[in-house]
Amino acid sequence: MEKKTGELLSLHTTFRIGGPAKSFISVSDIDELRQALSDAHRPFIIGQGSNILADDGGYDGDVIKLTGSFTRVRAEGDEITAGSGALLSSAAVAAAEASLTGLEFSYGIPGTVGGAVCMNAGAFGGEMKDVVLKVFIYDRETGRELELSRDDMRFGYRESLVKSRTPDEARYIVTGAVMSLERGVRSEIEEKMAEIQDRRRSRQPLQYPSAGSVFKRPEGYFAGKLIEEAGMKGASVGGARVSDMHAGFIINTGEATSRDVKTLIAEVQDRVYGNSGVRLEREIMYL
């Protein structure tokens, strides 16, 4: 176990924003996780920090990252078993290498398996709930390890049983997941992944720090289009800017603060509501 005091969260979020965490603890196995949680203050589990806007003022609690044995990925039969700290893209690559199809959609989502399960991450017509067979959980309240089925996980659009509104109410920690896939042809799987990567590169401002799509897709609309129609494409507050390439993304042009991003998000929501009557709901989480 490694414990750092005052570690900057900007080093652990894809937005590159966030002040110091009271403590930042890396745990490498279940015993260390249990130990870290036993005397933790407001523990918050962080994956790749790719869906998080961390406050400039930092976090007055313990941020816990699952590393070491939690990053293992294994292919067996038609299944991929991955630790929650493994990169989702590593799981997709392992699946391709084992000629297993079904996880291609996830290639390029810059999160961990744990974060993706928690968020029911999805792209290009696929979602985690389509492939997840079971999820290994550590229940903070009882100290028990559980094995949950796909149904138990209550997956919804960017929602699951594990997702919590605030760090203080987080009860379940994903320690790993089994994904059930189908036999395919390796070259075809890799071709599909390359195609998906090209589509991301041509549509998303990947050269700038961001947390991906800021808003959930409102039913019957596209957030990016609504934002564009409200005249907010390219709008900026301080170092935060609505991407010219994809209006659903807010990018950090260099010196953005969490306050800049929050102010811009509120402005976008107001302008879109005024223009179209649609209230955009935030997908990214404030820490």
Ligand X SMILES: Cc1cc2nc3c(=O)[nH]c(=O)nc-3n(C[C@H](O)[C@H](O)[C@H](O)COP(=O)(O)OP(=O)(O)OC[C@H]3O[C@@H](n4cnc5c(N)ncnc54)[C@H](O)[C@@H]3O)c2cc1C
- Return the active site residues: 158, 213, 283
CA distance 208 to 243: 9
Which two structure tokens, joined as six digits, stand for 170? Answer: 């987080």
At 112, the amino acid letter reads T
Q: Taking CB under 6 A as the rule, does residue 196 contact ligand X?
A: no
CA angle at residue 155 from 154 to 159, to 5 degrees?
Answer: 110
Interacting positions 223-282 with ligand X (CB under 6 A) = none
Which two structure tokens, joined as six digits, stand for 207? Answer: 């050269």
Residue choice 98, 121, 148, 247 for contact with ligand X (CB under 6 A) = 121
Please name which of 173, 161, 177 lies closest in space to residue 36, comparing C-alpha atoms. 173
CA distance 58 to 61: 9
Instruction: Provide the CA 77 distance to its chain's centre, in angstroms.
Output: 27
Residue choice 58, 83, 111, 248 for contact with ligand X (CB under 6 A) = 111
Residue choice 211, 232, 251, 256 for contact with ligand X (CB under 6 A) = 211
Q: Taking CB under 6 A as the rule, does residue 115 contact ligand X?
A: yes
Residue choice 37, 116, 135, 181 for contact with ligand X (CB under 6 A) = 116
Q: Taking CB under 6 A as the rule, does residue 210 contact ligand X?
A: yes
The residue behind tokens 């893209």 is 89
Residue choice 21, 75, 100, 174 for contact with ligand X (CB under 6 A) = 174
Q: Taking CB under 6 A as the rule, does residue 285 contact ligand X?
A: yes
Query: In whole angstroms, how close is the CB of 198 to ligand X at the nearest point?
Result: 14
CA distance 13 to 47: 9
| # chain residues binding ligand X, by CB under 6 A | 33
Residue choice 43, 83, 102, 110 for contact with ligand X (CB under 6 A) = 110
- Helix extents (H) in 126-247: 128-131, 186-203, 223-229
Please name which of 115, 70, 75, 68 lies closest in space to residue 91, comparing C-alpha atoms. 75
The residue number whose beta carbon is nearest to ligand X equals: 47
Q: Taking CB under 6 A as the rule, does residue 89 contact ligand X?
A: no
Q: Taking CB under 6 A as the rule, does residue 162 contact ligand X?
A: yes
> Which residues of this chain interact with ligand X, rule CB under 6 A?
14, 44-52, 66, 84, 109-112, 114-116, 118-119, 121-123, 162, 173-174, 204, 206, 210-212, 285
